[in-house]
Structure 1
């Protein structure tokens, strides 16, 4: 009887690890973009914490990316959109949804300062009306595939 109880505890313990591992994989897969390049003083604010990214660092919805003077970063979104941030720039990933099988698309950035180069990925081809870039004074609806935006 004791061996059966020990065996059940081992099985339950392993299944608990499997569930935890699966939850971690799902959470890691919720990223919306990653850094292709980082140069100089670049920070990501995620919730109440800040981190210094390197190439490959994943980005999530509601992350705020800021670059310092003489700094820049290249960001690649899951569907191929490229965003290059220049020096002294701050941008928040407000919304990102790319589910072509369900025809659900949504992409919104808030840029409070700085300059960036935007180059559309699949979203720009499939649902250009779902892309928005907001600044303190203007909202840009993306209809082209590549543009530069500067916020003073």
Structure 2
């Protein structure tokens, strides 16, 4: 009698942990959106709304008059302007293990970047690339445009 109850409990635990495990993959949260913003993930295109979770390899595209405020787990803020097209290439924020990475490719548009804990703790780990330049961040706030 105890074995079926134990087995049922384990199955229930696995079912409950499934959504939590999937949610653990996110690296950033979209805090606010104005206008049409889309995310492409695994070949599918989704509308972005407040509280949309972003993952590594997500491509975020803002319409010409749209904006989106993205907050990464370390507190880094990336505010996309109209026409922005970015790809989240890499993100690691594991302070207990001393592992950090922040890499975003901006194909076009404009964005305001404000450093979070990664930019302050391990600035050499932050990289923002455009078609014509790579920006190494050293704990600051700046506007970047890619044409």
**Smaller-chain TM-score range?**
over 0.9
Deviation by residue 1:10-35 (Cα, 9 ceiling, x = unmatched): 54233113113223212202210001
Which blocks of at least 5 consecutive residues in structure 2 are unaligned?
Answer: none
RMSD, aligned α-carbons: 1.4
Rg larger in structure: 1
Indicate which of 81, 97, 100 corresponds to 1:86. 81
TM-score norm. by structure 2 comes to 0.94
TM-score with structure 1 setting the length: 0.91
Matches of residues 39-78 of structure 1 in structure 2 within 5 Å?
Answer: 39-78=34-73
Question: Could you tell me how far apart the structure 1 residues matched to 2:75 and 2:61 are?
Answer: 21
The farther-off stretch of 57-66 and 10-19 is 10-19
Q: Give 5+ residue unaligned stretches, structure 1.
A: none
Match of 1:25 among 20, 28, 31: 20
3-state SS of 1:17 partner: helix
Equivalences for residues 1-152 of structure 1 within 5 A: 4=1, 8-9=3-4, 11-152=6-147
Distance in 2 (alpha carbons) for counterparts of 1:52 and 1:8: 46
Aligned length: 147
Contact 2:37–2:63 under 8 Å retained in 1: yes
